[in-house]
Structure 1
Amino acid sequence: MINVRIVLAYSGGLDTSVILKLMQEKLGAEVITVTVDVGQKDDFEKIEEKAYKFGAVKHYYIDAKEEFAENYVCKAIKANALYENAYPLSTALARPLIVEKLVEVAKKEGAGIIAHGCTGKGNDQVRFNLGIKALMPEAEILQPVAEWNLTRDWEMEYAKKHGIPVSDKIYSIDENIWGRSIEGGVLEDPSIEPPEEVFEWTVSIEKAPDKPEYVTIGFENGVPVSLNGEKMKLLELILKLNEIAGKHGVGRIDHIEDRSVGIKSREVYEAPAAVTLIKAHQDLEKLTLTKWVIEFKSIVDSKWSWLVYNGLWYEPLRLALEGFIDEAEKAVNGEVTVKLWKGNAIVVGRKSDNALYDVKMATYEKFSTFDQKLAKGFIELFGMQSVLAYNMLHGVHSTSNISEIKEAIKTLE
């Protein structure tokens, strides 16, 4: 192949550096590398140097942190997004944004092929491939690790031959502003407690401060807009809360997860801000939304999370669900106070002008406006069918005199 132009999602790690060289070697390709900054703590200048050193004809660095917060994380907060009630979707949320930037570069540079370093075992291949197909259906997708059956041992040997630095790191780590995922090493044995060395954003419960810290988070239309009374952009708020909650050991997640490809995997995450904000947001919803909206929204939230996790960002159902979510969130305004202590984010206070809680109705004091006499009739009607069904199934008969009832009917006639 001659004059093949390929856009490569480039992290600067072993996989993508090997792929960069291989595509030149096997395909004679001109490779344009793209690194999207969603909050990972990388040296982006060194990544660019590596890209050119190993043969890239052009490199793009794209700072997308604020866009990620405003257009992606924002939606996840409103949806209380926790895949399988545990994972805040940090990696999953970032993939559609990265795909969008890859496609933009591919169209700009006239490249017909988009490549990435995903394996054939993980979820990211689904997210990348479906996203590219949706945004640029004419593009060819190249997935060398899976298509060329690359193994880590082979990659390391190839890297040594071509002067590509080989890291001795044990763990595979992906991070952005919304969370940090850690895989590999002893973590592949789900019976072993994660060693402290895998954590960077959070301290252990044993080392967390003995004194709790309180934070107050302000929400407008379901979106965090202030921290401890100070208005700030969502990106700044998340970064600040990652720091505050992390030092109290909040946000460690260790669970067994069902991947898109059917594999069960042990996943370890750090997400201090995500855990804190979702807890606060859910609590404010309880204060401001009717029980019927909350009940139905829990179904919507779960489905939204499932779609995002499984790479279906461009599925029309996501947009339809967000229509409902956005409408419901119009009432979710107010402040929530969270107590951060020894690995826990505990909601201890909440207030809102839209609160459906009325102390005059809820109180047991004499100023209560609730008419307790109404309860008796309500109970009769509320449980009538359940009681009748139980009596029927268990042979419990009414003590009413049937003949008296018949006589009463005749009188009415």
Structure 2
Amino acid sequence: MSAPKKVVLAYSGGLDTSIILKWLQTEYGCEVVTFTADLGQGEELEPARAKAEMMGASAIYIEDLREEFVRDFVFPMFRANALYEGLYLLGTSIARPLISKRLIEIAAETGADAVAHGATGKGNDQVRFELSAYALNPEIKVIAPWREWDLTSRTKLIDFAEKNQIPIAKDKRGEAPFSVDANLLHTSSEGKVLEDPAVEAPDYVYQRTVDPEKAPDTPEYVEVSFERGDAVAINGEALSPAALLTRLNEIGGRHGVGRLDLVEGRFVGMKSRGIYETPGGTILLEAHRGIEQITLDRGAAHLKDELMPRYSELIYNGFWFSPEREMLQALIDKSQEHVTGTVRLKLYKGSVRTVGRWSDHSLYSESHVTFEEDAGAYDQKDAQGFIKLNALRLRLIAMRKRRLGS
């Protein structure tokens, strides 16, 4: 790869990406444009601007992408009830395609010929960033310093920072106890004190949720309203996508909802242990399943559940912009045409469960399922022929077994 002339760097303002900024300038002698996305991680982003200015970034982009993140990435994923390996709500995975999208757009705006990220060569994020980047611009150069440089230890990183007068937060001079990635959907903690999957995670790892044992002793009820598969209101109050997820995070967090201790299979082949907190997303998933129970036909619902693991794996592995994910999305979105109504949920000490649901689009018919008189809505005698036809092949198999003595 020829040396880049201008690079757009996904920049957090932390030590690692600050070192990358300087490394790009010294290694390639190129201009560096920084891009910092506000995805609801809860950190002050202006210090990132000041640090990028001090280090000579040729242009600085800091953008609030919370609404786009929830509306165009989180909500479409939740229409599918997506869970990776049956448990993980994909909080980190779903943020990467949006960051990549803006990196490519900013590269086009600034005339940059390359983009760079701070993901390591051991993780999933390098794959997600780069697959998305190439899908959006097949000619772009992608620089992954962690796969190129010789700064292979925390000590070497600190030495490089000190030599290049890069500010180092005091707590970064020692080994960090664990690494954290956060956005409006979740908080993810990995490494160090969490690396032994046999050892319970210490309490201080959890940042978004109270200990369920210390949560309120009184349950809280919340109502979530949907239109065509997307949540639009909480307790009757209409909210924007980001505001709605923020509110659900607050509600879920105080009840200890959404904690997950998971050993997952990374796309690159190894297993890793992570602690995830997804309070609002956990409520949203339960609520969405609750409204689908009465508005979605059985055949459509079961087909969605069959496809969900494949859809989730595509997102986890970085294929958001692939044709197969878009094809599955079209099918999922078609299924949501009548997923409109309201769900009442009960939150209590780490749990959230549906306790009521109603909709003008409901397929639930009380007259068909009642144990009382149904005024002719359902003729129970019809079931006899239905059962006999479905049993025919089973009876033929049983007769063969008897005939052959097997």
Q: TM-score, normalised by structure 1?
A: 0.92
> Contact 2:113 / 2:140 at 8 angstroms: preserved in 1?
yes
What is the deviation of 1:302?
A: 2.0
Match of 1:388 in 2: 396
Letter of the structure 2 residue corresponding to residue 145 of structure 1: W
Q: Does 1:321 align with 2:322?
A: no
Change over 3 Å in CA distance of 1:297–1:203 after alignment to 2: same
> Contact 2:4 / 2:28 at 8 angstroms: preserved in 1?
no
Letter of the structure 2 residue corresponding to residue 143 of structure 1: A
For 2:204, which of 150, 173, 197 is the aligned residue?
A: 197
CA distance in 2 between counterparts of 1:87 and 1:198 reads 18
For 1:155, which of 148, 153, 157 is the aligned residue?
A: 157
C-alpha distance after superposition, 1:36-73 (max 9, x if no partner): 11111122111111112223222110111111111111
Change over 3 Å in CA distance of 1:186–1:396 after alignment to 2: same
C-alpha distance after superposition, 1:295-343 (max 9, x if no partner): 1111222222111111111111111111111111001111111111111
Change over 3 Å in CA distance of 1:232–1:2 after alignment to 2: closer
CA distance in 1 between counterparts of 2:73 and 2:400 reads 53
CA distance in 2 between counterparts of 1:89 and 1:67 reads 17
CA distance in 1 between counterparts of 2:402 and 2:356 reads 46
> Contact 1:20 / 1:55 at 8 angstroms: preserved in 2?
no
CA distance in 2 between counterparts of 1:119 and 1:239 reads 30
C-alpha distance after superposition, 1:381-406 (max 9, x if no partner): 22221233134225599xxxxxxxxx
Larger radius of gyration: 1
For 1:335, which of 336, 342, 350 is the aligned residue?
A: 342
Match of 1:52 in 2: 53
Detail structure 1 runs of 4+ shifted over 6 Å in the superposition.
none
Q: How does 1:232-247 map to 2 (within 5 A)?
A: 232-247=239-254
CA distance in 1 between counterparts of 2:335 and 2:28 reads 52
> Contact 2:135 / 2:322 at 8 angstroms: preserved in 1?
no
The unaligned stretches of length 5 or more in structure 1 are: 398-413
> Contact 2:368 / 2:374 at 8 angstroms: preserved in 1?
no
C-alpha distance after superposition, 1:259-289 (max 9, x if no partner): 1101111121000111111111112212111
Q: How does 1:2-401 map to 2 (within 5 A)?
A: 4-153=5-154, 154-164=156-166, 165-166=168-169, 167=172, 168=174, 169-367=176-374, 369-395=377-403
Change over 3 Å in CA distance of 1:396–1:284 after alignment to 2: farther
What is the deviation of 1:366?
A: 2.2
Letter of the structure 1 residue corresponding to residue 187 of structure 2: R
Structural RMSD (CA)? 1.7
What is the deviation of 1:110?
A: 1.1
> Contact 1:144 / 1:150 at 8 angstroms: preserved in 2?
no
Q: Secondary structure at the match of 1:90?
A: coil
What is the deviation of 1:377?
A: 2.2
CA distance in 1 between counterparts of 2:404 and 2:208 reads 61
> Contact 1:118 / 1:146 at 8 angstroms: preserved in 2?
no
> Contact 2:116 / 2:142 at 8 angstroms: preserved in 1?
yes
What is the deviation of 1:3?
A: 8.4
C-alpha distance after superposition, 1:107-149 (max 9, x if no partner): 1111111111110111111111111112122221110111224
CA distance in 1 between counterparts of 2:336 and 2:188 reads 29
CA distance in 2 between counterparts of 1:75 and 1:388 reads 46
What is the deviation of 1:163?
A: 3.1
> Contact 1:90 / 1:176 at 8 angstroms: preserved in 2?
yes
Moved more, 368-377 or 174-183: 368-377
Moved more, 376-385 or 257-266: 376-385
CA distance in 1 between counterparts of 2:387 and 2:313 reads 38
CA distance in 1 between counterparts of 2:44 and 2:77 reads 28
> Contact 2:5 / 2:30 at 8 angstroms: preserved in 1?
yes
The unaligned stretches of length 5 or more in structure 2 are: none
C-alpha distance after superposition, 1:62-90 (max 9, x if no partner): 11111111111110111111111111111
Letter of the structure 1 residue corresponding to residue 165 of structure 2: G
